[in-house]
Amino acid sequence: MKFPSKLLLVLGLLPALVSALPAASADAVIARARAYLGSDKSLEAIRSIHYVGTIELRDDRGKIVPEASGTLEMIVQQPAQHLNIRTTDRMRETVGLDDLSGWQQVETLQAPLQRGMVILPPAQLRRLQAVTFENLAFYRGIEARGGRLELRGESTIDGKTVVAVAFVHSPDLVFVRYFDKATGRLIMSEDPVGGQVREEGEVVVNGVRFPQRMRSAGRTQDGKPYTVTISFEKITVNETFPDERFAAPLSSAK
């Protein structure tokens, strides 16, 4: 079939025109990711999230590490409060954030008087503040706290085309998230220390999608691999928690 010369000219220009189209912006990727989770109205209505579940750590041989596995409770509350309680057969570890103050307490359950509390050093405090923000912001608003978004291109994970967006809080505090290009669903995250986290399943609470499980993999200081699985048994939003819940137990402070 013979094409008119003008049509041939247009067809010949198509590759150049397509290559000149701008790539999807980070803001566009975030808009799709938020739409997957829920409406802007539903997301912006969330003031607190209360997770209750279990945490299971397995070593490089696939065996459960009992001293690091047990129950988990996590609370995040606007604007910058966080409480994370991990309880095993022997101990309870609590990490708290009350805006500009972060702390960690470890208790020996068999000997209640044996407990130690420390104030988090600046680097750990900044990371906990960033994690708290990330849990409540639903991918939006990092610029207001001095951070920025970076679009890091496309790749393939689990057979899906994903778009990577970096959430840069500071040069040494970066979260990279990989979103399904077609749906906006979060496929994988990389935390600032190199751990990879994948979300599985979903629970819808107040019109917002939350994961049922989170699986992460990493390596110990001596290079051995390990995996962590967090399973949520209950997720509640918009409870109101008193400020004292997040304050450091000053009577134990060192």
Per-residue pLDDT of the chain (254 residues; tens, 9 = 90+): 444 444 334 444 444 333 333 346 999 999 999 999 999 999 999 999 999 999 999 999 999 999 899 999 999 999 999 999 999 999 999 999 999 999 999 999 887 676 789 999 999 999 999 999 999 999 999 999 999 999 999 999 999 999 999 999 999 999 999 999 999 999 999 999 888 999 999 999 999 999 999 999 888 888 899 999 999 999 999 999 999 999 998 754 44
Tell me the β-bridge partners of 211.
Answer: none
Residue 219: the pLDDT is 83
Neighbours of 128 (CB within 10 A): 20
Residue 22: the pLDDT is 39
With a CB cutoff of 8 Å and minimum separation 6, the contacts of 247 are: 96, 98, 101
Q: What does the radius of gyration of the chain's CA atoms come to, in whole angstroms?
A: 22
State how far the Cα of 231 lies from the Cα of 228, in Å rounded to an integer: 10
Domains assigned to the chain: 23-252 (2.50.20.10)
With a CB cutoff of 8 Å and minimum separation 6, the contacts of 143 are: 149
State how far the Cα of 113 lies from the Cα of 122, in Å rounded to an integer: 28
Please check whether residue 46 is in contact with residue 206, taking contact to mean a CB–CB distance below 8 angstroms: yes
